[in-house]
Amino acid sequence: MSVTPEIGSQADPGAAGHHLRQVFPDGEIFVVSDDAELNRYAAGLGMRALPLEEAPGLPDDANVVLLLRARLVSRDLRRLFRRMRVLLVPIASFDPSLPVAEYTLRLVRATDYTAACEWNRYWARSISEQPGPLVFEGNGTDLTCSFADRLSADAWLDPHIGPGKWVSVASFCEFSITAPSSSDWRGAFDIAGTAVASGLLVARDARVRPEGDERIRRAARLREEIVARAPIELRLADGVLTSVTAGGVDYTGAVIDVTNPGYAGHTLELGLGTNMNLLPLVDWELNSQLNEGAGTLHLGFGEGMTGAHMDFVVAECGHRFQEGGAGAPR
């Protein structure tokens, strides 16, 4: 029997305020952005908003939600906030347009960080303890994933951010397992089967190269076309993407091209969603980072430097471990 994920109460950012007190239980919370329009929007939501240039005046242990709409993460930014508690929201890595930035902030407020961390702990425990492959099934998805003996994953296990810590919102909202290197595509997991995705994201890494930037621009246009034809069906064999179709159109070659054909469609990331309480609020047409953790899983291709990083998000399906499994958090 599939395990159907169940998360606590649905979050309404308009009626219920926000859940950021789960991350910053004490002291004032500052929203700091490099964009004046986004700051005005945050202030309209009742948040204490400051422009980035005023950040040096904040206390060393300040609670900061850092919204980057105009720039990518850099060493200088990290140094600026090195003594503060920072929840990073890298909007510019996805779609920096104002409507998407405002949408992303609403979902940051709506995220149940305590529940997300419970899911992260569940996945860490289950993957380390269960001997069999992980199976995703239901709503057209039938995927089997076998893991390597030694894994590393990016995930935040406790909702609190301490002084001097810089945590991306993605570390709360997904349990991300990635290939150990560009030459060892299958060193973390092997995945095969069929997935039906509702959403598709395109992201760039802060270390993006010129050839990657050109591919990412093409990927953004491709994403809009594919999402307009959703649902998106993917087929994989031995960890390799063999087919991507939407609305009867085959996009396999185009996806492999914009994610860098050198990877030949190898799956570089298996992301396990831990922010599924957002699902009723998600607009799959938008290219927002908060969308990726709202689905049960997402499959990532490309690394965002030499080509686009593209995440195909499966909104809803069950999961089980083939030789029995622990119960999902409730």
Q: pLDDT class for 65, splitting at 50, 70, 90?
A: very high
Instruction: Give a yes or no: residue 306 inside a domain.
Output: yes
Asked whether residue 66 falls in the same domain as residue 141, the answer is: no
Asked whether residue 190 falls in the same domain as residue 61, the answer is: no
pLDDT at 324: 52
- Beta 85-89 vs 63-67: how paired, if at all? parallel
Asked whether residue 103 falls in the same domain as residue 242, the answer is: no
pLDDT at 2: 33
Average pLDDT of span 244-270: 97
Query: Among residues 204, 191, 320, 328, which one has the least CA distance to residue 266?
Result: 191
Asked whether residue 238 falls in the same domain as residue 90, the answer is: no
* C-alpha distance from residue 6 to each of 138, 316, 318 (Å): 15, 11, 10
**Percent of the chain scored above 90 by pLDDT?**
86
Render the burial of 188-199: b for 16+ CB within 10 Å, e for the rest.
Answer: bbbbbbebbbbb
Query: Which residues partner with 168 through β-bridges?
Result: 88
Asked whether residue 203 falls in the same domain as residue 225, the answer is: yes
Answer with the one of 112, 145, 176 that is the final residue of a domain.
112
Instruction: Give a yes or no: residue 5 inside a domain.
Output: no
Instruction: Give a yes or no: residue 327 inside a domain.
Output: no
Asked whether residue 169 falls in the same domain as residue 307, the answer is: yes
pLDDT one-digit tens code per residue, 110-131: 999 999 999 999 999 999 998 8
Asked whether residue 123 falls in the same domain as residue 107, the answer is: no
pLDDT at residue 1 is higher than 50: no
Split into its structural domains, the chain has a count of: 2
Q: What is the pTM of this model?
A: 0.92
Q: pLDDT class for 16, splitting at 50, 70, 90?
A: very low
Asked whether residue 131 falls in the same domain as residue 77, the answer is: no
Instruction: Give a yes or no: residue 204 inside a domain.
Output: yes
Asked whether residue 123 falls in the same domain as residue 105, the answer is: no
pLDDT at residue 31 is higher than 70: yes
Given the structure tokens 């699902």, which residue do they identify?
279
Domain region containing 57:
20-112
Average pLDDT of span 246-255: 98
Asked whether residue 137 falls in the same domain as residue 74, the answer is: no
CATH number at residue 63: 3.40.50
CB 267 within 8 A of CB 239: yes
Asked whether residue 214 falls in the same domain as residue 306, the answer is: yes
Asked whether residue 203 falls in the same domain as residue 296, the answer is: yes
Answer with the one of 46, 79, 112 that is the final residue of a domain.
112
Instruction: Give a yes or no: residue 8 inside a domain.
Output: no
pLDDT one-digit tens code per residue, 71-92: 999 999 999 999 999 999 999 9
